[in-house]
Structure 1
């Protein structure tokens, strides 16, 4: 049975790959982006299968309008993919408040805006799938990633809790945590470096740029393969709450789990001393 997808950040990268995979599977897609012309350039599909809508996810009214357009064209939304986002990298102290606000407005509040607009539709249908694209950076932190990880950790906590709130309505949530994928994410179009230099962080800032720069478009992950997996998961009766994408992400998550478990056991005896007497 064909489905209707609603994909944010659909003009390139993982978002564009998901749109193409869903269309190839015979599904209908609402492909959204801040610049509809750029979204249109990315696809060739018949108008009865593809709707392109303008959407800056940070603007709540645009999210509502795009969902309304989806309902007018296709009558419902079966699969929501919250993919739009970008990375703000660099030491926390070097970030300006305005930069921090923009990062959260897109990566966190944008997810809230679109999800809030789609949930009433899925509740009426008593069915729906939500894929929230976070990152391995939403499962473990790293130097220079404090703000980007903060947004992705926020979406992780939001999604894990929301999954429990909407399960009774037949709505299923999957967090997708990619590692490094061969997209434009490391381009200046998708990544920002904070711009208030502090001498003590100069060496770290240089290491970050030297690490990420050469990896641009050399990443191991294949967006088309990930997109096909998500199309398959959208039809799975019992999809996972978390889907770690990529061998690098799986290895990093495994290391994080082992570290957390070891720390818990090392301090468990002290942890339990904080219980009160009854």
Structure 2
């Protein structure tokens, strides 16, 4: 049976995974609405896809912008089959070093922005009886380290919401794919990295993380073009996973984190079970 053409709506297409996903979708014969806050950065994508790609301005922190982009996609292509929530940026800073406005701004883009776009598209996916929501998380959605508390908080929140969402929308034929990349060459560590103020006392715990961030841009092992092609391949699978790790570092780190959680659960199981008690109907 021939593969059916899909329509994609992708956020954050000015660089990195978003840009490569547009190219991979076009190479697969699909149609794409590529979005960014500045559509001027998408001119080359428009030329590459001709009539199969459109561009729209989309700021995930602006509800009106979100609904306009969804409406433009439906007007141009008549449907949406794949939503990719990719817009975001990195952040490094100890919990005490991050200001509350910085943390709220991070969550506004990385969590609430993704939720806003998802909610805007869901009614259409339900009505048409199918589609896929791709949440671009990170291995930081399951693994964290000193200096990445704010970033990982946003990804942990996105994964928790998305796992519940997957069960909620399954009866409508809608699927959710949580993608967990490791270190990829996506300007993470470069211009798309927020750096908090520093408190000297935290050098002992976050100094190595900050140094790694400053040195990583362009040297990461992951190839975003290969990652995009893998995501397209997974979407073609009859039974795709809920979570997809990308990169050897992601597989290794997520497995180690899961093993640590299992060790805590097993090691303290006897004490944990002591808290169960009888229910006194008279009490």
TM-score category of the 2 structures, normalised to the smaller one: over 0.9
Q: Give the SS at the match of 1:29.
A: strand
Mapped partners of 1:78, 1:166: distance in 2: 14
1:235 Cα deviation after fit: 1.8
Displaced runs of 4+ in structure 1, greater than 4 A?
A: none
Counterpart in the other structure of 1:250: 251
Deviations 1:146-177 (A, max 9, x none): 10000000000000000000000000011000
Mapped partners of 1:95, 1:209: distance in 2: 14
Give ranges in structure 2 of 5+ residues lacking alignment: none
Counterpart in the other structure of 2:195: 193
1:40 Cα deviation after fit: 2.0
Find the partner of 1:55 among 54, 58, 83.
58
Counterpart in the other structure of 2:222: 221
Deviations 1:89-138 (A, max 9, x none): 11111111111111011000100110011101100110001110100111
Counterpart in the other structure of 1:96: 99
Mapped partners of 2:11, 2:61: distance in 1: 11
Residue 181, structure 1, aligned to residue 184, structure 2: yes
Find the partner of 1:131 among 134, 149, 163.
134
1:215 Cα deviation after fit: 1.9
Mapped partners of 2:196, 2:61: distance in 1: 20
Q: Give the SS at the match of 2:262.
A: helix
CA contact (8 A) 2:66 2:120 kept: yes
Residue 159, structure 1, aligned to residue 138, structure 2: no
Mapped partners of 1:41, 1:100: distance in 2: 33
Counterpart in the other structure of 1:208: 209
Deviations 1:1-59 (A, max 9, x none): 11000100011101100000000111000101010001224553344200100011111
Counterpart in the other structure of 1:234: 235
CA contact (8 A) 2:8 2:83 kept: yes
Q: Give the SS at the match of 2:132.
A: strand
CA contact (8 A) 1:12 1:42 kept: no
CA separation of 1:95/1:166 partners in 2, compared to 1, >3 Å: closer, same or farther?
A: same
Counterpart in the other structure of 1:262: 263
TM-score, L = length of structure 1:
0.96
Counterpart in the other structure of 1:106: 109
CA contact (8 A) 1:32 1:55 kept: yes
Q: Give the SS at the match of 1:236.
A: coil
